[in-house]
């Protein structure tokens, strides 16, 4: 059987580039709890190289994965980077000795983070930088003016090409857009957790990409009787159906499912080639509106 490529997922604009709608999230390449090196470094390198071979042209990462480990793996596996590869990173936190994620939003913290991402990825400037605001899975309403202004200044200096925001409310997004153009939003969203439906539709009207994190439920995989039923009918996995549903949800959704396995990477890409019929879409759409428990909440 021919392996499905990312090209099958279609494309959408991210900054000044068109990218395939299924990308790759690199967080799982670090060790347990996103700390330290992977158990199998060669396997991690193989996943990154296979992703690019299969048409993945946007990779999501951060220097605080490891910390530094994942960016160094990306550099080892892929540098010099293909001309069409967009690397999206994020700043706004750091790692402590206990594996925590304390915020790091002061201008000095952000400048240091941008420079460290540049150094460890081996680039002259970062393609896209998301300002990740505090809160584990849900945004905390607060002003992001100071940190976003700091990033906008670095964009003017040429250290960053495009800016995005992550873990934000509608009000925080509006504040960011009043400071500098926003090319993408990365928030918690999936088949079950659909609080951002209005935001996604508004962004689509403005031509801005939306990247769901926890697209498969995060640390608590999605569980739904309806999802299981549709997956059995289509003779595939619930996770593949959940990714296919996201692709069908709105054309501005860019997906970054993560894995440390080449086989799982190829399985995720199979979602690109699947088509959900009206009946399946209706069944799955009801999950977000029937009060089924949100496993990641």
For residue 176, what are the contacts with CB-CB under 8 A and spacing of at least 6?
Answer: 131, 144, 148, 163, 165, 168, 182
The per-residue pLDDT string of the chain (297 residues; one tens digit each, 9 = 90 and over) reads 567 899 999 999 999 999 999 999 999 999 999 999 999 999 999 999 999 999 999 999 999 999 999 999 999 999 999 999 999 999 999 999 999 999 999 999 999 999 999 999 999 999 999 999 998 778 999 999 999 999 999 999 999 999 999 999 999 999 999 999 999 999 999 988 899 999 999 999 999 999 998 876 655 556 677 888 888 998 888 889 999 999 999 999 999 999 999 999 999 999 888 889 999 999 898 887 543 433 333
pLDDT digits (tens, 9 = 90+) for 180-227: 999 999 999 998 889 999 999 999 999 999 999 887 665 555 667 788
Distances from the Cα of 151 to the Cα of 16, 50, 108, 166, 236, angstroms: 18, 32, 11, 14, 43
pLDDT for 220 equals: 54
pLDDT digits (tens, 9 = 90+) for 29-47: 999 999 999 999 999 999 9
Active site (catalytic) residues:
65
């Amino acid at each position: 059987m021919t392996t499905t490529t990312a090209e099958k997922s279609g494309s959408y604009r991210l900054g000044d580039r068109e990218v395939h709608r299924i990308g790759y999230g690199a967080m799982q390449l670090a060790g347990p709890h996103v700390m330290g090196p992977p158990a199998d470094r060669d396997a991690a390198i193989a996943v990154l190289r296979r992703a690019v071979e299969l048409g993945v042209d946007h990779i999501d990462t951060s220097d605080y994965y490891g910390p530094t480990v994942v960016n160094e793996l990306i550099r080892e596996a892929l540098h010099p980077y293909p001309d069409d590869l967009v690397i999206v990173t994020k700043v706004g936190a750091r790692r402590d000795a206990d594996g925590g994620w304390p915020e790091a939003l002061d201008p000095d913290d952000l400048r240091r983070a941008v420079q460290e991402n540049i150094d460890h990825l081996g680039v002259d400037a970062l393609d896209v930088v998301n300002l990740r605001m505090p809160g584990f899975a849900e945004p905390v309403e607060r002003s992001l003016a100071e940190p976003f202004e700091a990033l906008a200044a670095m964009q003017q200096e040429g250290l960053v090409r495009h800016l995005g925001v992550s873990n934000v409310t509608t009000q925080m997004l509006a504040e960011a857009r009043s400071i500098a153009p926003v090319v993408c939003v990365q928030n918690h969203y999936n088949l079950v957790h659909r609080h951002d439906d209005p935001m996604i539709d508004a962004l689509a009207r403005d031509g801005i990409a939306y990247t769901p994190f926890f697209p498969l439920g995060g640390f608590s995989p999605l569980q739904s009787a309806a999802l299981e039923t549709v997956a059995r009918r289509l003779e595939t996995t619930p996770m593949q159906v959940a990714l296919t549903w996201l692709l069908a949800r709105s054309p501005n959704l860019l997906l970054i499912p993560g894995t440390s396995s080449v086989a799982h990477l190829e399985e995720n890409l199979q979602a690109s080639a699947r088509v959900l019929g009206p009946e399946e879409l209706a069944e799955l759409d009801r999950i977000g509106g029937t009060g089924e428990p949100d496993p990641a909440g």
